[in-house]
Amino acid sequence: MNKITSVDVISYLLILLFLYTGMGKLMALDVFREQLSRQPFLHPYVGFITFAVPVLELLIAGSLFTRKFKREGLYASFFLMAAFTFYVGYMLSAMSLKELPCSCGGIIKSMSWRQHLVFNTLVTFLALVGIWKERADSYKLKSS
């Protein structure tokens, strides 16, 4: 019987997040595109980002399902969440809170930009912990 590890729990949480957000964006693609078009600095890339972000989120979720690609999925989760976190942080520092449009959906849409920054920071840290734990688990297996 397989033992569920902390890496598995972290992976499951990230899978839920990326499935939720990726599917939400794809199911309301026109809304996502319109919200992105109101984002400062992203306007020239809206066409690409509209498809790339949800597809990437779903690919990351899929990679976290498999043992073979779990490490890559954890790294991709970390880098994607770090990028989202830096963007939210930049927007908070560069724009008035009244001017900030949100391109999020579902539960995350109900968060303020500051709450979103905290949430993203925590998820980024969670992905980093997953990387550390996965590497430690991998090292233990190789040395035994």
For the chain, the structural domain boundaries read: 6-143
For residue 10, pLDDT over 60 is answered with: yes
* CA dihedral for 124, 130, 132, 134, sign (positive or negative): negative
Q: Please tell me the predicted confidence (pLDDT) of residue 52.
A: 96
Average pLDDT (93-122) is 76
Low-confidence winner among 61-65, 79-83, 111-115, 125-129 (lowest mean pLDDT): 111-115
Average the pLDDT over 72-93 and give the result. 94
Write the pLDDT tens digit of every residue in 18-72: 999 999 999 999 988 988 888 777 888 999 999 999 999 999 999 999 989 999 9
Q: What is the pTM of this model?
A: 0.88
Of the candidates 14, 6, 12, 10, the one whose C-alpha atom is nearest the C-alpha of residue 136 is: 6
Q: Collapse the DSSP code of 110 into the 3-class scheme (helix H, G, I; strand E, B; otherwise coil) and give the result.
A: coil
Whether residue 1 is predicted with pLDDT greater than 60 in this model: the reply is no
